[in-house]
Structure 1
Amino acid sequence: MIPAAKLTTHDLYASLVDAIDQADEVYIVAAFAQRSGVELLLPALRHAVERGADVHFLIGDYLHITDPEALAELLKLDGLSIRFYRSGGRAFHPKAYLFRNAETGLSIVGSSNISKSAFRTGVEWNLHLPQAVAPHILDEAIEAFMDLYLSEAAQDLNPIVLEAYRQEHDARQYVAEPEVDYAEQQLVMSEEILPHRVQEEALRALRETMEEGRTRALTVLATGLGKTYLSAFFARDFKRILFLAHQRELLEQAERSFKKVESNWQTAFYIGSDRTNDEQTDVLFGSVQTLSQNRHLERFAQDYFDLIIIDEFHHAAAKSYQKVLAHFEPRFLLGLTATPDRMDGADVYALCDNNVAFQMHFTSAINEGFLTPFHYYGIHDVIDYSQLRRMGRKYDAMELEQAQIDRTVSENIYAAWSKHRQTKTIGFCSSIRQAEYLAQTFREMGHQVIALTGQTINRRERIQEFEQGTVEIVFTVDLFNEGVDIPKVDTLLFCRPTESIAIYTQQIGRGLRLANEKSHCVIIDLIGNYKNVETKLMLLGTVKDKLKRGDKEPITPPKGCIIEFDTQALNIIHRMRQPNQRKLRLIESYEQLKLDLGRRPTYIEIGQLTAVPTGYKQEWSSYVGFLKEQGELTDEEIETYDANRELIEQVEKTVMNRSYKMVVLLAMLERGEGRWMEPITAEEVAPFFYEYLHAEKYREVKDAQGKVFENGYNESKIVTLLKQQPFPKMVYPFETTEDQKTLYIQKDLKTTNRILMKWITDIVHFRIESYFSS
């Protein structure tokens, strides 16, 4: 029997090992290789070589993604024939695994490069084609392989070739997105700047989202993955571009990056008195502080820009940004950030229509080899934060500072730093006084230390001293959150409670840049009984569901990373994870958002602006049920809730495999306050159902495909679909007639329709927006 061809969409590794074990000849070509993938293959390759198999490797240097250490591991294995393909900027994308013995053969061709994620966990498509199915294909594939293998572009891999590539690779890491040129001013890149693999994926996602009819998108990329260069590559598809930011340094750095991508672009600035824009300007780099002024906005037509790019998009909820966004109507709006979640409750997702086109957070970037691994040490903070007054989302600044200016506290910090530090440290403080106090403490211990704050004179010179090694540690207050980057920083010291997850994420990013002679970044973090402890720990890896006694690592870290806590810090985490703590955190989250808004949050606001929107329905069956228990409802609202509890809970909790249920509810709500709860027929829903799913390209692509929707609106087909799917799937208190033709609610309206309609409308709109954004 001829073996069948098959498609592998996950866990290619098992198939590769099995094929290597049976093959006399192995031919592997990949655009790039990571050490994680090579290490998986090495045992099977070693056995193949030992039994005399002929093994050929061809690895590419395209975009400098290949890890030099992966090549070094292959080079150690005697008996492999390895060549290195020098692409010279030409696209080089082959991924093929070819096997042959005296009796049969196999071709595996698809999407998988040599990495652990490609072999084990990633979404990959690889076609397995046995030689018996198509005998000529394997011969043609091996012939094509050898043409590349023996071409002038391929070099025999040896220590000299490897060292030359290693230097190129290390240099390339620096220019992924050099936010400030402190560390690499001497590096001049004459070659063309090309997108690396993650940027290529992001570009594809952005173009796809435009094809879906979207006009706004948010891209979340960890610091070091090249957000600015990504936006420049994307900008090539547009004629006139505005790059908007809040700092001159960010705009100047962005202009340099854009010119490297497209040297022919005419660029100009719109910052304060520096305003040189004219009709010949292709890319305008504008300060939000300047452009948000009426007299400047009025100089631009609403459609003047085809593309608007907003850097550090988590700031875009500010009124100044809102004013600019309200004025312009570009063909596309692109938001860039590493940290979209704001702790002040402001919703940046909504500014991009809840459309996150692409995201890669720093843990994923570490797994992919784009950022350096971290060794995290959670150290007990001796301050008792339960004794400090909270002012909204923060601790009272004076009480916090008074607790921090203490010899016992500073000696505890110094002891942890002395134990775990490496060569170049940034210490993050809550206040100028704390930074200066810790700097003095460390100086007394014999170290070269500076406090760098907004009041420091000649900051650039002091930073250069730090970068050059004459200063061991810098204590600062938020100066290194954005716009300044020193890749050689290898130790981060957090001397403050985490009050903003966004800022904490930015500060971690300061230490994760790749650099020569930097194997990892040490993170020394004080763990106290302050708020946000568990939330911030979730950023570092996968939180374990249960902690066993003696377990010192409550988080599974990314590849190559280490997470450890001292005993007292671990005890704090245990206490914070007790069952009753979840409800307390949800209540606190609600109270903080209520304080920020100055009123009770709506369902949409609690869903969009809190880190745990599903928690309320899980703990209280519904958000309105939570409000009732907290005494937040009026007597009229309580009556409405009690009379319609089943309906509220069902709308909030019903499973959504497709949008259909919520679209039907929208059709009911469209009839208005007086009629929305009346029975509705499939014929009445059908035109709204069709028009809603076809109103936006992304809705059509996701939920309006198949024979039912072919050839335009067909009422009988839509009615049949409604009677088969959403109508009978909507359970109590919803019911349908025996022929499934009419949907109705099994209860009479007993209380105020207006209140109930508002609640149901909010739930439906939030759920349907979340569904289409996922």
Structure 2
Amino acid sequence: MESRKANLLNAYERGFIDRFTTKTSHYPPELIINSKKENVLSPMLDALESCESFVISVAFITEGGIASLKTVLYELNKRGIRGKIITSTYLNFNKPKVFKELLKIPNLDVHITDQSGFHAKGYVFDKKDYSIMFIGSSNLTDAALKKNYEYNLKLTSLDNGEVIQYFKSQFDDLWNNSTLLTQQWIRKYDEIYADTKHDDKVLQLIETKKPYRYDNIDPKEITPNLMQEEALDSLKNLRLTGERKGLVVSATGTGKTYLSAFDVKNVNPERVLFIAHREQILLKSLNDYRDLLGGDPNDYGIYSGSKKDINAKYMFATVQTFSKESHLEQFPKDAFDYIVIDEAHRSSASSYTKIINYFEPEFLLGMTATPERTDNNEIFGLFDFNIAYEIRLQKALEAEILSPFHYFGVTDYVVNGETINDTSSLSDLLDQDRIQHIIDKLYYYSHAGEKVRGLMFVSNREEAHRLSELLNQRNYKTKALTGMNSQEERQEAVKLLESNKLDYLITVDIFNEGVDIPSINQVVMLRQTESSIIFVQQLGRGLRKHEDKEFLTVIDFIGNYKNNYLIPVALTGDKSFNKDKLRKDVVDRSLITGESTINFERIAQDRIFKSISKATLDSMANLKRMYHYTKNKLGHIPTLVDLQIDQDSMNPMLVLNKFDHYIEFLSKIKEETEPLTNGQDRILTFLSKEIVDGKRVTEVLLLQQLFKGPVNKAKFQWDMNEKKYYMSDETMKSIIRMFTLEFYTMQKTEKYKYPLIEIRGENIYLTKEFRTSLKDEYFKKQVEDLIDLALLNAKEYDQSTQLTINEKYSRADVCRLLNWEKDETSTIYGYKNKHNTTPIFVNYNKSDDIDESVRYDDRFLDSHIFQWYTRKGTDLNSKINREIIEDYKNEDTAIHLFIKRDDDEGVYHYYMGEVDIDLKSAENASIGLTDDQHKVAKMNFIMKHPVDYNMYRFIDGEK
């Protein structure tokens, strides 16, 4: 309590008196403004998630605002934690549906105030002996919490603080003089709301603008959206360079068809051919073109199995019919000036290539949301490797082209003691208790608007039909659609859904693409994620904007599926397959821009973590597939830097961690490479294993300078200090020991064999072996590629300090970066005190098979305090522990804390920062079973930098 009080005093001194104070402050007051870098929702959810009770006082609430909190409230309910909300009917802004959604939350008590002019916005989250308060301009709406320009002040107060006590007393007065929210109250309000004339201008000022859509708009008023304007400029510039082919990669729902029509309008060709794989797509595309381009309706025609408008100026043809030679040969090769290939990711199929290779248009445009394929057939070459424009899901959401969505990763049901998994039987999938579990989740997480229009994706046809029957028995209106249904049956079912005569269409995968149902407000995933491509396609079914929905709800039932790691890949679009990034993405509340949110129930989240840990992302099959995709996209063998900077590419470290160097990998996959000498092979191995991660950029910069000639040690140190990089005499010695191989163990020295530098007086030189090797242009290019990659990786680290908080390090990394003379990995045994440094390594979640005698209860007590146990068999009187404490008292050691979540993290630990010892907490203790006790010492560390809450949630997730 006293420690927290002191920290708060320091925090308020920094926040309101002197921002340059060096005092440790863990609870700083913060002004939060929604932007790309931050939003008020994330810290608010952090506070809510770890509270013991909460109160919220807000005038305006939307369904999206409630949705943003639902997963955390669900987890709080499991812990028996309740909260209160006071809201109002001010301006009749809050819809009746909002109050219905509030009533669904079992651990929430809601009162309605009739206080005149009620316009409050206050959130208080109570901890054990203190509270966190958010006061400002944000109502409980998804726009106010994540997107709108708002001012919100986050304050921390001890329970006896005057401001917090005054807020609570005012809240209590308001609570005691307000009305309890009930179903009966909602029915009365429903009648009042229906009879009230709403002031749209007032509501628009409070809320965000209505979604834009093309439907029912005069063609003269149709204008390009942001994505289309940028893409049209890019296509124009592409043609100005003489190119005749281009590919547009654009997220589902961003208006690819209209984009092509706008470009056709700009080019004004004599004749146009539009190719798609379904007649349903053609009909929709024809209507879109006709709406935009206008002209004689007879200029527009269909060419398919059932209809052949052979003379149409704008011809919309199915690939199945048009690709047959008897049809193609009716047309001269230059019959069409402009050809559009819809769903261009299919264009490597022979039916498409026949058409592409036959015609000679002035311009060929390909359009796709998912250029990635799983069969290694490349499509980029068909469009001369010209990616004219690319907009993926994240950018489209940021530009507000798509409907915002709230994704809920929910826990699938346990049937007969087994969680639903990859091999679950149909009877388990359709177990009555699981059906109820599904219904409960659909009810709790709900949908935007009064009526659900949902798509459910399941594993197979039989499941689709049986699930439909079972839900219909529970008073739902559903219909199963599979590949066995005709096009007419599908169209009829869509009409029934859109007219509210059906609640859900249940399907396997026929709606993955080519289906446009903008009014879909809920997508339910009841199958494992087989591929990130299919996941995004299915998510995309609901992302089109529609006047009847404010957002899309996505409910993903997560069982024990081996491919769960693909969920964060799909949601972020990050295909680097960097496990650390995937883990961080799962807990990062600010991952999606705009009003959208990603939410995981705790058990579902842990299932994804386990899937990430177990996934063999560096299998040869995966590496080859990802490599060939990038090669096909670029049209040449990619460099390591190419792999790094292309967002669609794998992380090149996957290759370098598995192979000695990139050339070894290329040889393994039968790419043409040039032979290396033994020395070149060893040097590339050293650079690939020791330098390329960029953890100490000064190493890389020294090499760069050495390529130009000798380097003076003192001048190099001065240059590095001028650039604000961490550099000391000891650092310089450490770098030299590294390049001379003196730092390494005998095993590594034998592996690398050839030192890279030699010292002559005060100057550093490249060794003869290295200099000679660099005369080989092929080898030199490989070295330069590694250096460039290292410089890119170095940007991930704070180079002004020895170690970067929240980044991962091995014990060998730590020995090197703390400037130890040798790699002492094998003798650290959890911690070691040396050279005025004490690195401590903790395995946070011990596996079940670890002996009780070493099952320490090392853990965070909160994000500021870490409880630590010393090595088995040592206590406060033991030499090593006594040295650490005495050195700390005398300020002769810096204690560094490193943590890995579990053994699946391998040899790497996250750096948590320097810590202080709470000397009052140090005491002797014991661990182990009653009849096999071992002495230890126990103490608390005070974090000099509070643990980032996303990292805290990740590490402490299972505790």
Letter in 2 for 1:625: E
Q: Using CA pairs below 8 Å that are at least 6 residues apart, which structure has the higher relative contact order?
A: 1
The yes-or-no answer on 1:308 pairing with 2:339 is: yes
5 Å-filtered alignment, 1:465-476, equals: 465-476=496-507
- Where do 1:119-158 residues align within 5 Å? none
CA distance in 1, matches of 2:687, 2:321: 46
| Letter of the structure 1 residue corresponding to residue 377 of structure 2 | A
Per-residue CA deviation, residues 160-218 of structure 1 (Å, 9 max, x unaligned), is 7899999xx8585143xxxxxxxxxxx36364433223211110011111222322211
Residues 406 and 320 of structure 1: CA distance in aligned 2, closer, same or farther (over 3 Å): farther
Match of 2:246 in 1: 217
Distance 1:627 1:235, change over 3 A: closer
Spell out, residue by residue over 1:110-152, the C-alpha distance to the aligned partner (whole angstroms, 9 max, x if none).
xxxxxx99999xxxxxxxxxxxxxxxxxxxxxxxxxxxxxxxx
Q: Tell me the SS of whatever aligns to 2:565.
A: helix
CA drift at 1:514? 1.9
Match of 1:275, SS state, is coil
Is it true that 1:376 corresponds to 2:407 in the alignment?
Answer: yes
Q: Distance in 2 between matches of 1:509 and 1:550?
A: 20
Once the 2 structures are TM-superposed, how far is the Cα of residue 361 of structure 1 from its aligned partner?
Answer: 2.0
- CA distance, structure 1, for counterparts of residue 483 and residue 333 of structure 2: 37
Of residues 644, 648, 656 in structure 2, which corresponds to 1:618?
656
Could you say if the C-alpha distance between residues 382 and 346 of structure 1 is closer, same or farther in structure 2, counting changes exceeding 3 Å? farther
Q: 2:148 & 2:234 partners in 1: Cα distance?
A: 19
Q: Does 1:445 align with 2:474?
A: yes
The code of the aligned residue for 1:570 comes to: Q
Equivalent in the alignment of 1:566:
601
The Cα shift of 1:441 comes to 2.5
Q: Distance in 1 between matches of 2:202 and 2:654?
A: 56
Deviation per CA, 1:500-532: give whole Å up to 9, x if none.
322221211111222234221111112234354
Aligned partner letter, 1:173 = R
Q: 1:119 to 1:568 in 2, by over 3 A?
A: closer
The range that moved more, 490-499 or 235-244, is 235-244
C-alpha separation between the residues in 2 aligned to 1:649 and 1:253?
Answer: 56
Please say if residues 340 and 364 of structure 2, whose CA atoms lie closer than 8 Å, have aligned partners that are also in contact. yes
Distance 1:268 1:505 in 2: 32
CA shift in 2, pair 1:349/1:401, >3 Å: farther
CA positional deviation for 1:270: 2.2
Q: Measure the CA separation in 2 of the matches of 1:510 and 1:637.
A: 45
Q: CA deviation at 1:434?
A: 1.0
In 1, Cα distance between equivalents of 2:516 and 2:539: 12
Map 1:695-706 → 2, pairs under 5 A: none
Contact 1:220 1:361 in 2 (8 A): yes
Does the residue aligned with 2:570 lie in a helix, a strand or coil?
coil
| 1:707-726 superposed matches below 5 A | none
Q: 1:362 matched to which residue of 2?
A: 393
Taking the TM superposition and a 5 Å limit, the aligned residue runs for 1:96-115 are none
Question: Where do 5+ consecutive residues of structure 2 fail to align?
Answer: 1-33, 40-90, 92-145, 151-197, 630-634, 693-769, 790-959
| Counterpart residue number, 1:235 | 264
User: Is 1:295 paired with 2:326?
Assistant: yes
1:277 aligns with 2:317: no
Counterpart Cα distance in 2 of 1:232 and 1:416: 41
Work out whether 1:173 is the aligned partner of 2:208.
Answer: no
Q: Contact 2:680–2:779 at 8 Å: present in 1 too?
A: no
- One-letter identity of the residue aligned with 2:656: Q
Corresponding position: 1:460 with 2:491 = yes
Q: Distance in 1 between matches of 2:514 and 2:588?
A: 33
Which residues in structure 2 correspond to 1:48-447 (within 5 Å)? Answer: 172-175=212-215, 187=216, 189=218, 191-236=220-265, 237=267, 238-264=269-295, 266-272=299-305, 274-278=307-311, 281-381=312-412, 404-407=429-432, 409-422=434-447, 423-447=452-476
Mapped to 1, the partners of 2:548 and 2:686 lie a distance apart of 57
Task: State how far apart, in whole Å, the 1-side matches of 2:585 and 2:378 are.
Answer: 40
Shift of 1:222: 2.0
Aligned partners of 1:303, 1:522: CA distance in 2, in Å?
47
The corresponding residue for 2:536 is: 505
In 1, distance between residues paired with 2:585 and 2:683?
46
Query: CA–CA distance in 2 between the matches of 1:546 and 1:592?
Result: 20
Offset at residue 643 of structure 1 (A): 8.4
8 A Cα contact 1:174 1:487, kept in partner: no
Is 1:540–1:555's contact at 8 Å kept on the other side of the alignment? no
Following the alignment from structure 2 to structure 1, what is the Cα–Cα distance between the partners of residues 229 and 777?
49
- Offset of 1:359 from its aligned partner? 1.8
Measure, in 2, the Cα distance between the counterparts of 1:650 and 1:294. Answer: 57
1:5 matched residue in structure 2: none
Shift of 1:496: 0.9
Aligned with 1:272: secondary structure? coil
| Number of corresponding residues | 491
Q: What is residue 762 of structure 2 aligned with on the other side?
A: none
Is the partner of 1:346 in helix, strand or coil? coil
Q: Give the direction of change, closer, same or farther, for the CA distance of 1:294–1:622 in structure 2 (3 Å limit).
A: farther
Q: In the aligned structure 2, how far is the partner of 1:403 from the partner of 1:642?
A: 58
Displacement of 1:445 in angstroms is 2.6
Q: Is contact 1:174–1:515 with CA below 8 Å preserved after alignment?
A: no
State the AA in 2 paired with 1:220.
Answer: V
2:535–2:570 contact (8 Å) kept in structure 1: no
Structure possessing the higher radius of gyration over alpha carbons: 2
| In 1: Cα distance, 2:682 partner to 2:372 partner | 33
Q: Evaluate the alpha carbon distance shift between residue 644 and residue 483 of structure 1 in structure 2; reply closer, same or farther with a 3 A threshold.
A: same
> Sequence identity of aligned pairs in percent?
30
Letter in 2 for 1:482: E
Contact 2:494 2:517 in 1 (8 A): no
Structure 2 length normalisation: TM-score? Answer: 0.44
Query: 1:319/1:382 Cα in 2 relative to 1: closer, same or farther (>3 Å)?
Result: farther
Whether contact under 8 Å (1:222, 1:361) holds in the other structure is: yes
Following TM superposition, by how much is the alpha carbon of 1:378 offset from its aligned partner in structure 2, in angstroms?
A: 0.7
Q: Shift of residue 604 of structure 1?
A: 4.9
What residue number does 1:123 align with?
Answer: none
Q: Deviations over 1:480-500 (max 9, x none)?
A: 223322222211100111213
Instruction: Classify 1:609/1:308 alpha carbon distance in 2 versus 1 (closer, same or farther; 3 Å).
Output: farther
Provide closer, same or farther for how the CA distance between residues 117 and 421 of structure 1 changes in structure 2, counting only shifts above 3 A. closer
* Counterpart amino acid of residue 462 in structure 1: A
* Range that drifts further, 521-530 or 586-595: 586-595
Instruction: Rate the CA distance shift 1:564–1:641 in 2: closer, same or farther, 3 A.
Output: farther
How far 1:605 moved relative to its partner?
Answer: 10
Change (3 A) 1:276 1:444: closer
Structure 2 residue identity aligned to 1:534:
Y
Work out the CA distance in 2 between the residues paired with 1:190 and 1:532. 45
Kept in 1, the 8 Å contact 2:563–2:611? The answer is no
In the alignment, the residues of structure 1 paired with residue 529 and residue 636 of structure 2 have an alpha-carbon distance, to the nearest angstrom, of 27
Structure 1 pair 638–164 and aligned structure 2 pair: CA distance change class (3 A): closer
Change (3 A) 1:345 1:576: same
- Name the CA shift for 1:515/1:501 in 2 (closer, same or farther; >3 Å): same
164 and 526 in structure 1: CA distance in 2 versus 1, 3 angstrom threshold: closer
Change (3 A) 1:520 1:570: same
What is the match of residue 69 of structure 1?
A: none
CA distance in 1, matches of 2:205, 2:300: 34
Equivalent pair of 1:203/1:230 in contact (CA under 8 Å): yes
